[in-house]
Structure 1
Amino acid sequence: MGGLENLITSSVPATPLLEEEGEEEGDVSLKLKHAVRQFYLALICHTVGSVPFRSPVLSFWAMLSRKRPRGGKSTAVNLARGLGSGADAAAVAAAGTGDRRLTTVDLGPGGRAGQWEEPGNFNSHLSALTWTAQLLIFDYACFCNQDDEDQIPAFLATICKEFFQQLAETPFGHILQWRLYLFKVGKAAITTHQARWSLDGQTVEYRGMELQMSHVSQLVVSEYQQVHALLYEELMFRAEDLVPMQAWRLKDDLDMEEFGGSWLSHPRNAELVEGADRALLWRIQGSAELRA
């Protein structure tokens, strides 16, 4: 962490947080802000070498790669070390007590020891971590160079070159490498929920639901009826005396330069839209039910 320490020292001198006699409260608050920023920058900017999971960030990243299986509450089973087989033996080995005594291992629903996140979903976690780290670095640079903003670009360039690029043996060097791997793997990944067509091509099944091609027309009619009811019964108060409008009868001029102009103000639509701006008001005034 020598490079990081030099950067921090040159930007913000290390100061104790304990309030000394006669020290103003504002000075203590400023020291605390310095210390907090030094702490989160240290989480981002350090070399991990051959032991990446000593980094709290990479350990947290590894935790995000696992998820519980769906479909019920997790169950705990007691396994004797060395006596299980298959997934049970692997789970006990992971728990690792070093003897043959019973060990409680959380295998999740159905006795399965969790699952890996899909590449696309896990990549979203890495993107969030990356963007957050970039924001924290930028905040640190702005905070520490308030008196000389010209130094901010140079500081950011130095930090990114040493700690925030794919070839660096740093937490976010590893994360950026894995993002590239996941982009590649994600392109070849097969979705877990696929639609299946019947051999005759008339029925499609998706996540336990079946839809036949003959149902499509019924679905369209149903959606139309719902939209019609929403428009005429709820938004237009069941008004039956409104002048119907057909799109083909309306005229529009895309070259109109009048401010606020639209097809509503087009002179050739005057007969169709006359009184339209007051039609619903008249409808409310003429209905005792709506006035109530």
Structure 2
Amino acid sequence: MARSIRFHETGGPDVLRIEDIAVAAPGPGEIRIQVKALGLNRAEALMRRGTYIETPALPSGLGLEAAGLVEALGDGVTGFAIGDAVSVLPPVSMVRCPVHGELIRFPAEFVVKHPPGLSFAQAAASWMQYLTAYGALIDIAKLTAGDIVIITAASSSVGLAAIEIARQVGATVIAVTRTVRKQAALLAEGAHHVVASAEEDLGERLRQIAGTRGVRVVFDPIGGPIFEPLTAAMAPGGILIEYGGLSPEPTPFPLFTVLSKRLTLRGYLVHEIIADAARRDAAKVFILDGLSTGTLRPVIAKVFPFEEIVAAHRYLESNEQFGKIVVTL
């Protein structure tokens, strides 16, 4: 038996339970992993609340990120050995492959031996954020040196990963956050400009920074009213990649701005990178190289012990964090 995080009803953090469950031996093509650290994402809060893109059958597990040691190998698995330090790529289906537990079975094709210098906490804090940012900025937008990119929700783990990746390719980064409280930290993490959307005129500040040239790429998980100032700041032929819907307000469609500037508004989920073997492999090469050389280094906001998973989810929903929340076992 192994402890696993489960919920029997949807709702707030208090619905989470730590329960003992049996974890079978790995099947063909699977690896069983003794988990040492978990990464928390907003997707898990949505799943727990019943508002995620998947509907769980209750009781349900959850979790997209984990790192640990190879404990057993299924038939046909090559390239791994018992005791290897590994982390998992976020599963395409959290319902089918939840990873927040002491012992998990996972398809070997989505398991990665992470660089030796990476701690379990850092490994558990890496894949969701870097895959999401890489897929949008590099795979889809083809961000290059000389581009200007707007990154909203910039203090989130994905936002910080996007800043690192944009800086790595030589782009100019405009980080958007709600207040000036995180401004210094965002500048320290590599943003060239920081705009506090709740305290400044977002449209005016973006115009001041981007000028007549405009912004070619926007990376946004919020939607809502900021769509109008974001698209107003974009360059002709620019692309806005939307990977969430955090705003509780309706998202307007800026029709005439889109038409006049020939803009692309692109919905995006990281699953399209994970599910495509060629794109996934290219992403792994890019990210592992960055993690190995230190050009990519996950920012960890706070670490909680496994027994405090409810408190970790409360902190996740507080929006106070700067970077990734990690749970250790």
TM-score exceeds 0.5: no
* Higher RCO (CA 8 Å, separation ≥ 6 residues): 2
Structure 2 length-normalised TM: 0.20
Higher helix share: 1
Structure 1 length-normalised TM: 0.22
Larger radius of gyration: 1
Higher strand share: 2
